[in-house]
Amino acid sequence: MKILKIIIAFMFVNISFGQIPPKGTIQYEYYNYCNENLTKLKPLENYPFFQTEELCSIRKCFRGICYPEINELIFKRLVEMAKVNFDKKIYLRLIRGKDCIKLAEMKNSNLEDDNKLIYIGIDEIYYDEEVSRGVELYNSETEKLMKIKPNR
């Protein structure tokens, strides 16, 4: 019974503090977008029940961060997603920090600006260092591609 209470409390905290972008916004659309053009991932030997086939969206990747071996797979997937999105002319910039979802909504109010970026707030409260690394990997890959192929 005590374990059940702990699990329910953990779920409540995760739902209460882990924010997602508002439904109906472009930020929500790309945060949840499941990209079908990604390489098929093999199940992890040490974590056979971790569903690698679900790592097709930014949301699923960041929500899956936990153990080092899984994180490395997720980091590689985020870099791959940056490349696939860039090839599709979807230029996303992931941001973190206080009120990042609100900030992203504000920055997305003019999608016709010079940078053509769509901002996505990543407001995960657990595994802060790993989430920050994932954001950095995605953004640096996008920036690298924008410098190589500036004629978007």
In tens, the pLDDT along 48-78 reads 999 999 999 999 999 999 999 999 999 999 9
Mean pLDDT, the chain, integer: 86
CB 62 within 8 A of CB 89: no
Check pLDDT > 50 for residue 79. yes
Rounded to an integer, the average pLDDT of 27-32 is 94
Sign of CA dihedral 51, 69, 135, 81: negative
In tens, the pLDDT along 92-106 reads 999 998 899 999 999
Distance from C-alpha of 131 to C-alpha of 149, rounded to nearest angstrom:
27
Rounded to 5 degrees, φ, ψ at 120 are -125, 120
Distance from C-alpha of 99 to C-alpha of 48, rounded to nearest angstrom:
36
Tell me if the pTM is above 0.85. no
